[in-house]
C-alpha cells in the first residue's frame, strides 16, 4: 500500500467519525456478482487519536485484545505511512450496535482512517480513504464485498456492484422510506457466515446460482419500486428476499420470528439485513417508522426507526 503524502509520523490529537450502513436487499448475492441496495445510517463510530510515547498503539490506554483490531490498526497506520515506532492511543465510542449486520466494522474502518489521517496532518482524497478502509475491513471479514465501506462513505441510499471496479450509484426515492431495524439475535461473525456460503456455492454452483440470480432480480425490481414510490412492491420484494436468504441457510429462528412479528404488526415487508447467522432485521413500515419501532421494541430486543428521505 503506497503511503499518501503528508507529514506522517508527527501526530497531534484528532477525531474521526463515520456512520453505519443498512442493506435493504442483495446481501450475500452481491459477493457473487449481483447488485445490492444499501444506505448509510447516522448511528456510527467516533474515534479520537492521541499521540503516545514508547511506540505502543493502545485503545483506552490498554493493548487491544481482539487480534482483528490489532491488525486493523496496523493496516491503517501502514496505509498512512506512519513508522512502526509511532505510538498512539485510540478512544473509541459510538451508538452503533456491534456485529449485528449494521456495518460496525466498516464504520470503525472509515472513522479510524479519518482520525489517523487528521492526527498525521494528511489530507486524503476520498478514493484513498476508501482504499485504506476497504483494506481494514478485510481484517474483520476476510474478503468482504465492499458494500459496507462504500455505503458508509457515501452515506445515502444507493445501488452497489462489487465489480471490479466497485460501483455506487445513488438512488433517490420518490417518497421517504420509513424503515425499522430490530436487533433480534445474538452477535454474529459475518466472515464465517459469508465464507460458509461461499464454500457451499463453489461446491454446488448449479444449486446456488439460481438463488443468487433470483435475489438480483428482486434488487432490480426494488430499485424501480423505490424510484416510482411503490412501497407495497418494495415490501413484497424484501419479504421474498428473506425467504431466499433463509433457503441459503443464513437466517436463524430468532430472525425469522422477528420478521413474522413485524409482518403481523403491519409491516409492508421485512427481512434479515447484513450477513445473517444472527444480528438484525429491517422492516418497511406502512406509516411512520417510529410507530412500528415502538411496537417491536423490547428491553432484550431493541428496535429503532430509520428514515431515508426523498428528493
Question: What are the domain boundaries of the chain?
Answer: 14-170, 177-308
Determine the Cα–Cα distance for residues 236 and 192; give it in Å rounded to an integer: 29
> Cα dist. 225→46, 178, 281 in Å?
35, 14, 20
Residue among 196, 170, 181, 155 nearest 285 (CA): 181
The pLDDT, as a whole number, for residue 172 is: 95
CATH architecture of 177-308: 2-Layer Sandwich (3.30)
The pLDDT, as a whole number, for residue 151 is: 97
| Model pLDDT for residues 189-234, shown as the tens digit of each residue | 666 777 788 899 999 999 999 999 999 999 999 999 999 999 999 9
| Model pLDDT for residues 27-45, shown as the tens digit of each residue | 999 999 999 999 999 999 9
The pLDDT, as a whole number, for residue 17 is: 97
Residue among 12, 19, 22 nearest 133 (CA): 19
Determine the Cα–Cα distance for residues 34 and 215; give it in Å rounded to an integer: 8
Task: Give per-residue burial for 94-105: e unless 16+ CB within 10 Å, then b.
Answer: bebbebbbbbbb
Residue among 162, 130, 141, 140 nearest 36 (CA): 162
167 beta partners:
161
What are the φ/ψ torsions at residue 310 (nearest 5 degrees)? -90, -175
Determine the Cα–Cα distance for residues 272 and 148; give it in Å rounded to an integer: 15
| Model pLDDT for residues 111-146, shown as the tens digit of each residue | 999 999 999 999 999 899 999 999 999 898 877 889
- More confident position, 16 or 98: 16
Determine the Cα–Cα distance for residues 293 and 302; give it in Å rounded to an integer: 9
| Three cell numbers written together for 92 | 473509541
Q: How far is CA 175 from the centre of its chain?
A: 24
| Three cell numbers written together for 261 | 412479528
Alpha helices in 17-125 (DSSP H): 67-79, 104-120
Confidence check: pLDDT of 5 > 60: no
Question: What is the helix (H) or strand (E) element at residue 16, kind and residue range?
Answer: strand 14-25
Q: Does domain 14-170 have CATH number 1.10.8.60?
A: no
Given pLDDT bands bounded at 50, 70 and 90, which one contains residue 3? Answer: very low
Residue among 115, 7, 107, 143 nearest 57 (CA): 115
The whole-chain average pLDDT of the chain stands at 93
Give residues with Cβ within 8 angstroms of 92, minimum separation 6: 45, 46, 47, 59, 60, 108
> Cα dist. 278→17, 124, 147, 254 in Å?
26, 35, 19, 8
Give residues with Cβ within 8 angstroms of 248, minimum separation 6: 28, 197, 208, 211
What sign for the dihedral angle of Cα 294, 295, 300, 304? negative
Amino acid at each position: 500500500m503506497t503511503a499518501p503524502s503528508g507529514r506522517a509520523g508527527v501526530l497531534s490529537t484528532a477525531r474521526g467519525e463515520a456512520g453505519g450502513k443498512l442493506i435493504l436487499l442483495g446481501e450475500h448475492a452481491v459477493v457473487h456478482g449481483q447488485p445490492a441496495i444499501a444506505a448509510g445510517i447516522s448511528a456510527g463510530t467516533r474515534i479520537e487519536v492521541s499521540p503516545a510515547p514508547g511506540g505502543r498503539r493502545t485503545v483506552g490506554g490498554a493493548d487491544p485484545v481482539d487480534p482483528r483490531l490489532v491488525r486493523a490498526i496496523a493496516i491503517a497506520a501502514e496505509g498512512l505511512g506512519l513508522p512502526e515506532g509511532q505510538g498512539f492511543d485510540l478512544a473509541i465510542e459510538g451508538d452503533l450496535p456491534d456485529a449485528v449486520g449494521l456495518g460496525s466494522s466498516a464504520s470503525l474502518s472509515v472513522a479510524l482512517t479519518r482520525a489517523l489521517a487528521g492526527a498525521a496532518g494528511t489530507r486524503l482524497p476520498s478514493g484513498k480513504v476508501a482504499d485504506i478502509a476497504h483494506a481494514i475491513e478485510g481484517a474483520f471479514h476476510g474478503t468482504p464485498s465492499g458494500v459496507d465501506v462504500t455505503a458508509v462513505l457515501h452515506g445515502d441510499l444507493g445501488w452497489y456492484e462489487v465489480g471490479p471496479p466497485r460501483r455506487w450509484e445513488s438512488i433517490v426515492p420518490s417518497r421517504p422510506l420509513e424503515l425499522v431495524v430490530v436487533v433480534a439475535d445474538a452477535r454474529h461473525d459475518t466472515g464465517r457466515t459469508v465464507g460458509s456460503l461461499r464454500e457451499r456455492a463453489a461446491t454446488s454452483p448449479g444449486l446456488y446460482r439460481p438463488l443468487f440470480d433470483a435475489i438480483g432480480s428482486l434488487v432490480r425490481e426494488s430499485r424501480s419500486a423505490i424510484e416510482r414510490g411503490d412501497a407495497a412492491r418494495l415490501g413484497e420484494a424484501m419479504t421474498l428476499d428473506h425467504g431466499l436468504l433463509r433457503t441459503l441457510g443464513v437466517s436463524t429462528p430468532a430472525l425469522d420470528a422477528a420478521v413474522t412479528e413485524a409482518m403481523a404488526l403491519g409491516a409492508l415487508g421485512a427481512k434479515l439485513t447484513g450477513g445473517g447467522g444472527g444480528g438484525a432485521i429491517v422492516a418497511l413500515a406502512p406509516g411512520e417508522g417510529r410507530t412500528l419501532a415502538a411496537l417491536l421494541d423490547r428491553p432484550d430486543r431493541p428496535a429503532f426507526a430509520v428514515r431515508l428521505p426523498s428528493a
